Amino acid sequence: MEWHQHQFFIQNWQVAAANRDRCIEALRQHCENTAMSPLDPPSVSGWPAYYQEPLYYELLVNADVYSKRMELIEQLCQGGLSVATPYSSPSSHLLRINFVDFAQTLSNPSDPNALVEEALSRLYAYPVEQPFKDYLKTFLLSGQTADYYWTSAWGDFAANPSNSTYRAIVSARLQGMIQYMLSQSEYMLM
């Protein structure tokens, strides 16, 4: 996918062209701090595989890099990554993941099983075990056991997307699930 196809993922992306460059630069700098500079792998072979000798995964994910990645994930999922944008009003923008827009790009967001499967296929490079999928689904079900709990919440939102209460309900559940997914080692090793 091209960069512009990922715009659904960032909330508040509609900024002036000069500011968009600042936002992209801020994201690039944060990625660089997490040892994942876009389009700049450490060697012509790319990033070392997590199973590669002599350090195995220790070079790719160490304590310093891991804490910086967790901080970036928390910023993008919760409060937002503040980016100074002096050429517009307001003079700064918060970039954060728009969970609802992400879910709307999936083929069947009203089905919690399908949503978890497709989100995993987009965000993880390796398959995961069924217990992990079941755990992710608990975020959508808010501790309930029946799938209709999510299906009903999504249906209410889909029928009335301008209702801030319905949006907040589905967004909070998606945020919990996606933030958890992004913080797992399986995501770090993609």
DSSP letter for each residue of 8-42: GGEET----HHHHHHHHHHHHHHHHHTT--TT--S
Share of the chain above pLDDT 70, in %: 71
Range of lowest pLDDT (16-20, 28-32, 134-138): 16-20
C-alpha to C-alpha distance for 50 and 169, rounded to whole angstroms:
37
Instruction: Please give the residue that has the higher pLDDT: either 138 or 45.
Output: 138
Note the pLDDT of residue 50: 58
Q: Give the pLDDT band of residue 3 (cuts 50, 70, 90).
A: very low
Place of tokens 């919690």: 112
6 has pLDDT over 50: no
* Sequence ranges of the domains in the chain: 1-97, 99-190
Note the pLDDT of residue 176: 96
178 has pLDDT over 80: yes
Tell which residue, 124, 38, 119, 28, has the closest CA to residue 81: 28
Range of lowest pLDDT (28-42, 60-74, 112-126): 28-42
Instruction: Please give the residue that has the higher pLDDT: either 88 or 64.
Output: 64
The mean pLDDT of the chain is: 80
Note the pLDDT of residue 28: 79
What secondary structure letter does DSSP report for 143?
T
Instruction: Please give the residue that has the higher pLDDT: either 42 or 102.
Output: 102
In this structure, how many other beta carbons lie within 10 angstroms of the beta carbon of residue 6?
12
